Amino acid sequence: MSKRNRFLLIIAVLGVCLYCLWPSIQWYFRTSKEDQKVALSSLEKIRDISIEKAVASVKVLEEETKTNPDAVVAEQYAWLLKESKANYKTFEREIPQTMTMKDLMRGFGFGYNTNTDDQKKEAAASIHNRLVKLFQDKYRKEILKNKDFYTNSVKLGLDLAGGVNVIIKADLDAAIAAKGEDLKPENIPFFKQQAMATAIETLTGRIDRFGLTEPVIRQQGEDRIYIEIPGEGQGTSMNAIIQGNGLLTFRLVDDEATEAFYQYYSSHLADTFDENQKLKDPSIIPQDCELLGMYVKDEYGLDQFYRYMAVKKEVALDGKHITNVMISNDEVGRVGVDLVLDLEGGTIFGDFTAKNVKKRLAIVSDGKIKSAPSIKCAIPGGRVRVDGFGKEEAQNLQKVLETASLDVPLEIESQQVIGATLGALSIEQGRNALIIGLALIMIFMLIYYKGAGINAVVAQVLNLYILFSVLSAFNLTLTLPSIAGMVLTIGMAVDANVIIFERIKEELRNGKSRKAAIETGFDGAFWAIMDSNITTFIAALFLSILGTGSIQGFAVSLAIGVASSVFTALFVSRLMFDFNTDTFNRETMSISWRIK
């Protein structure tokens, strides 16, 4: 390969590595601890934090505008200028040459006269809500951007970050027995696969709702689920997560009670709910009803509050009666969800719908209303169609219903809690081992091989750079055994340079020129390097495939390190030698104390 192509290849590899490593750099070095904590919160918590920060920011903005309306727009509000100017154009108003705080707010309607006090209040509330929505979107994007950085970065394992690991056993035999004759023998393998997938999805949702940090959840064998949750103090939450029921129910919507609530709520915005989001005055709705929120998925995949509904406390139908869930299109192409109920459920649902035609039925999961379709007519026979959804909404609803219909008993088989103090100590010891090992090897190479040792030092640094980039690219987890694999890689990586340098020294002793010695030395060392590293790579590959836990972490880092060390030795080191030969016209070589 020519020097030009070799140079372009190295630049391309380093560029790709930087792209892959960038999320890790952003997360660990450019994201504050406070922002990291927020980004690792549950999706619901992120939404609440975004709203809370948005409301506070709008209050500050309104106060600053009232206090100093003629001040030039502060830099922190510059992002609002575009939206404000767009509103000026929409309402065909002249855009001021220099935007003041008053002008900025007037772009949202703030300060325009209205006819009555009620209209003024309504306009102020509308402006306030629009601004809150803009700030909420801004904060949410920032938090989700940090969350993406974490998702695509190198993760710290339990032995470094602390936390808890749990192995959960799913009782598939009990789930099969519960299905009875409804489950045909030939469908049992598919049922097990579907049951495990649903169990993992359910656990992921529960862990997220409990506000725990990003979990690692994967199936282990046929009937076990392995969970890692980094972070201190997570062990006490696991029993609650596993034992949570997450049942889905069908309940009747009380439209009159809902209307009465909103009439009250419109005039008591500030004092309707307490700090726990409970009604301060329960008499607003009938005693046989409770107030629940209806949520829809927003563009970020978050459950976003849509509106409140008063629903009957009495459960019309329990989700346990659902035996099958399918998505289909009707004759005019509308997407819907078809439910198949068992015999008991079909009878209950048929009688219930016959008594409540033209009323709405709320589909409730974990205290949230997922949908509230109207009952058009009595639905006998145990087959229910819920329509009026887009394709994505129908798929989300299907997942909710499948979660309820697949009842797989779960129990904790083993649980291990690792303290954060031990993790911090492991990080410090691993970092020290890596730095000391790298420093000693660099010093040795510089002393023993003189100027040529610089090539080995640069190759070693780039070797670690590429290694971390690959870990980040594949979202791999960094554990203490992984660090051990890196330390071993550092020692092994220098072998390739030693072989090359010794071959070059041989050629120089035979009287060859610098350029000829370099070319012959690399050519002669190529297969020796490849043979030794290929065998190591194969061993590491099999360990990563067959091993689990710490063995797998060690093997993965070793395999990546072997591949990157071969690249840096054969390409980077060679380019540096050729650069000194051709660009600086060096004829001698500083590679040994005995060779001049």
Give pLDDT, residue 550: 65
Higher pLDDT, 520 or 376: 520
Higher pLDDT, 354 or 126: 354
Give pLDDT, residue 596: 57
pLDDT tens by residue, 240-266: 556 544 456 889 999 999 999 998 888
Angstrom distance (rounded) from CA 164 to CA 232: 8
Give pLDDT, residue 246: 44
pLDDT tens by residue, 508-540: 888 888 888 888 888 888 888 888 888 888 988
421: helix, strand or coil? helix
Structure tokens at 559: 């395999």
Kindly give, in sequence order, each residue whose CB lies less than 8 Å from that of residue 352, ignoring residues fewer than 6 positions away.
Answer: 316, 317
Q: What is the DSSP string of 95-120?
A: PPSS-BHHHHHHTTTTT---SSHHHH
The boundaries of every CATH 3.30.70.3400 domain in the chain are 163-244
Helix, strand and coil percent figures for the chain, each rounded to 5 = 60, 15, 25
Give pLDDT, residue 124: 56
Give pLDDT, residue 312: 92
**Average of per-residue pLDDT across 3-17:** 88
**Average of per-residue pLDDT across 557-573:** 86
Give pLDDT, residue 527: 87
pLDDT tens by residue, 175-209: 888 777 777 888 888 888 888 887 887 777 666 54
Answer whether CATH 2.130.10.10 is correct for domain 163-244. no
Please answer whether residues 474 and 560 qualify as being in contact, where contact means their C-beta atoms are separated by less than 8 angstroms.
Answer: no
Please answer whether residues 572 and 10 qualify as being in contact, where contact means their C-beta atoms are separated by less than 8 angstroms.
Answer: yes
Range with lowest mean pLDDT among 119-128, 431-440, 457-466: 119-128
Question: Is 0.75 surpassed by the pTM of this model?
Answer: no
Distances in Å between the alpha carbon of 214 and those of 227, 228, 366, 377, 577? 11, 9, 21, 45, 46
Range with lowest mean pLDDT among 122-126, 226-230, 369-373, 516-520: 122-126
Give pLDDT, residue 233: 44
Does the pLDDT of residue 82 top 80, yes or no?
Answer: yes
Does the pLDDT of residue 393 top 60, yes or no?
Answer: no
Q: Which amino acid is at 557?
A: S
Q: Which amino acid is at 82?
A: K
Q: Rounded to the nearest 10 degrees, what angle do helices 549-567 and 480-509 cross at?
A: 30
Other C-beta atoms closer than 10 Å to the C-beta of 581 total 18
**Average of per-residue pLDDT across 351-368:** 84
SS3 string of 308-357? EEEEECCCCEEHHHEEEEEEEECCCCCEEEEEEECHHHHHHHHHHHHHCC
Residues 445, 451, 452: CA angle, nearest 5 degrees? 65
Partnered with residue 104 across adjacent β-strands are none
Angstrom distance (rounded) from CA 98 to CA 367: 50
370: confidence class by pLDDT, cuts 50, 70, 90: confident
**Average of per-residue pLDDT across 384-409:** 60
Give pLDDT, residue 310: 92
Range with lowest mean pLDDT among 173-187, 398-412, 470-484: 398-412
Angstrom distance (rounded) from CA 228 to CA 202: 16
Give pLDDT, residue 236: 46
CATH of domain 266-388: 3.30.1360
Give pLDDT, residue 114: 52
Domain 421-582 has what CATH class? mainly alpha
pLDDT tens by residue, 137-167: 899 889 989 988 888 888 777 667 677 778 8
User: What's the distance, Cα to Cα, between the start and end of the chain in Å?
Assistant: 29
Distances in Å between the alpha carbon of 38 and those of 210, 214, 235, 416, 420? 14, 12, 20, 26, 19
Does the pLDDT of residue 281 top 80, yes or no?
Answer: yes
Does the pLDDT of residue 123 top 60, yes or no?
Answer: no
Give pLDDT, residue 254: 92
The boundaries of every CATH 3.30.1360 domain in the chain are 266-388
Q: What is the mean pLDDT of the chain?
A: 79
Q: Which amino acid is at 167?
A: I
